[in-house]
A = this chain, B = another copy of it.
């Protein structure tokens, strides 16, 4: 249950109510909100004089639900706006891993050329094998930061585990929680108090229910700016790397108030399918896409098969505006 307390309730009283109901208290100058387990369906009548509004739920999708907030949340990343009434579909591109200054700068310049506003790149890579390239670490973060300063791009980069989260918060405009880290309470809790938007990727073995619950960890920590990212789930099919779950995206659009960004590159794992899939994602009417690109994919230190080269990305990018327009949206 979500309970909006009446204005003027003292903070101490709100805290006592929270304790009594085993609830999370969200409070700022203008509002005080209690969030209880969804199993709670009613409160005692003696609460009547403190409760302004109540919302009862079927499952643990509460703050992030459309039942609670009808409209998709509006999220600002500097001068970029997604969600709300914007009708914007954000395109993000860049390499899987930051590998060198030359490499990341090539992609930053491609962004500038095409007016793409946000650059991606991994500094801390959650590789499955300990014997392969693990990312440049802090040096990679700093290269991304330099691209922001030099080219005015916004930066999204992934936190791998709780040990280096402060660095990602410092160097990124959007904190990306990767598919393998999305259950990490150390990360989720810290993001709840971070002052930056968070994009959380669905784990490849993660139920939609668990995915939105992970978002609830951040929302209930007080961070209102959470973006969901579907990047493919693991199924029995092995001709493609993962299976992009657009049925799940329909569910997220219907049931949640959170902007949705799609990652077709990781889903299929092969560059040949990325253009068609990206256009399909745009036609779904989502809030963004994130596409891997690399100056020379065949030499990439990770995800070599799925990154587009600059010409492939240019061609794809130019095909997106008409599709967006056909579904009433604008590429930003």
Q: Which residues of A contact B (CB under 8 A)?
A: 23-24, 35-38, 60, 62, 124, 126, 128-132, 160-163, 180-181, 183-187, 203-210, 213-214, 216-217, 220-221, 232-251, 253-254, 267-268, 270, 272-273, 276-277, 279-285, 319, 322-323, 325-327
A207 touches B239 (CB 8 A): yes
A214 to chain B, nearest CB (A): 7
7 closest cross-chain pairs (CB), A and B: A205-B205, A250-B273, A161-B186, A283-B283, A180-B183, A322-B326, A240-B247
11 more A-B residue pairs beyond the given contacts A234-B236, A247-B273, A280-B283, with a C-beta to C-beta distance below 8 A: A126-B185, A128-B214, A162-B162, A180-B183, A184-B184, A237-B245, A242-B247, A246-B277, A250-B270, A280-B281, A283-B323
Residues of chain B within 8 A (CB-CB) of A237 are 207-208, 233, 245, 247-248
A276 touches B268 (CB 8 A): no
Q: How far is the CA of A319 from the CA of B328 in the complex (A)?
A: 10
B209 touches A185 (CB 8 A): no
Question: Residue A205 contacts which of B60, B130, B204 (CB distance < 8 angstroms)?
Answer: B204
Q: How far is the CA of A251 from the CA of B323 in the complex (A)?
A: 22
- A235 in contact with B238 given A220-B130, A283-B279 (CB within 8 Å): no
A113 to chain B, nearest CB (A): 23
Q: How far is the CA of A287 from the CA of B297 in the complex (A)?
A: 31
Copies of this chain present = 4
Q: How far is the CA of A134 from the CA of B282 in the complex (A)?
A: 39
A128 touches B205 (CB 8 A): no
B284 touches A276 (CB 8 A): yes
A250 touches B236 (CB 8 A): no
- A186 in contact with B208 given A36-B131, A216-B131 (CB within 8 Å): no
> Which of A210, A277, A283, A285 counts the most chain B CB atoms within 10 A?
A283
Residues of chain B within 8 A (CB-CB) of A241 are 247
Question: Residue A37 contacts which of B131, B279, B281 (CB distance < 8 angstroms)?
Answer: B131
A38 to chain B, nearest CB (A): 7
A160 touches B185 (CB 8 A): yes
Q: How far is the CA of A180 from the CA of B161 in the complex (A)?
A: 12
Which residue of chain B lies nearest to A61 when distances are taken between CB atoms in the complex?
B129
Question: Residue A268 contacts which of B239, B250, B283 (CB distance < 8 angstroms)?
Answer: B250
Question: Residue A250 contacts which of B36, B60, B208, B240 (CB distance < 8 angstroms)?
Answer: B240
Residues of chain B within 8 A (CB-CB) of A234 are 205, 207, 236
Which residue of chain B lies nearest to A282 when distances are taken between CB atoms in the complex?
B283
Which residue of chain B lies nearest to A281 when distances are taken between CB atoms in the complex?
B280
A250 touches B272 (CB 8 A): yes
A183 to chain B, nearest CB (A): 4
Residues of chain B within 8 A (CB-CB) of A217 are 130
A267 touches B283 (CB 8 A): no
Residues of chain B within 8 A (CB-CB) of A180 are 183-184
A161 touches B184 (CB 8 A): yes
B239 touches A236 (CB 8 A): no
